[in-house]
């Protein structure tokens, strides 16, 4: 059995986040001691590790909830889990595309300023103040 502090240390999930996951129903409410302290078992540790890994991969709370539902019913096809992961992959690719566009714009803005002018002539500051000076929509 693990205290909430020990669970936090083992998973690197902050205590308020663990409580939040409990409140959301992602993590089962643990047993309590007579002093009302939470005590988690190995299954709780495993579930929190699952949630942490999914969050690290960018899955939303709703997606994690759906994945947990599938995990709790091993008789179901993993096709739904694959679809959720594929959806996350599409989201990540869209973010990468957006970040590449931002990178191009920041490179362009940075090259537009020689760094010698006064702040009123600074191309970076002017570009931030006037979106029309940007080459790409972002």
Taking only the tens place, the pLDDT of each residue in 33-56 is: 888 888 999 999 999 999 999 999
What end-to-end distance do the CA atoms of the chain give, in Å? 49
3-state secondary structure of 30: coil
> Residue 71 in contact with residue 50, Cβ under 8 Å?
yes
Query: Which residue(s) pair with 2 in the sheet?
Result: 40
What H or E segment, with its residue span, contains residue 23?
A: helix 15-24
| The model scores a pTM over 0.75 | yes
* pLDDT exceeds 70 at position 117: no
Give the Cα separation of 39 and 51 in Å (integer): 18
Give the Cα separation of 68 and 79 in Å (integer): 14
């Amino acid at each position: 059995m693990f205290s909430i502090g020990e669970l936090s240390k083992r998973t690197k999930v902050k205590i308020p986040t663990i409580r939040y996951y409990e409140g959301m129903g992602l993590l089962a409410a643990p047993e309590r001691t007579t002093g009302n302290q939470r005590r988690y078992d190995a299954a709780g540790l495993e579930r929190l590790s699952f949630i942490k890994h999914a969050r690290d991969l960018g899955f939303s709370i709703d997606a994690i909830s759906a994945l947990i539902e599938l995990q709790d019913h091993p008789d179901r096809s993993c096709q739904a889990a694959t679809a959720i992961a594929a959806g996350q992959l599409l989201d990540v690719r869209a973010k990468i595309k957006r970040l590449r566009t931002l990178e191009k714009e920041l490179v362009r803005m940075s090259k537009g300023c020689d760094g010698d002018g006064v702040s009123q002539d600074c191309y970076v500051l002017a570009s931030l103040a006037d979106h029309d000076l940007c080459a790409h929509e972002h």
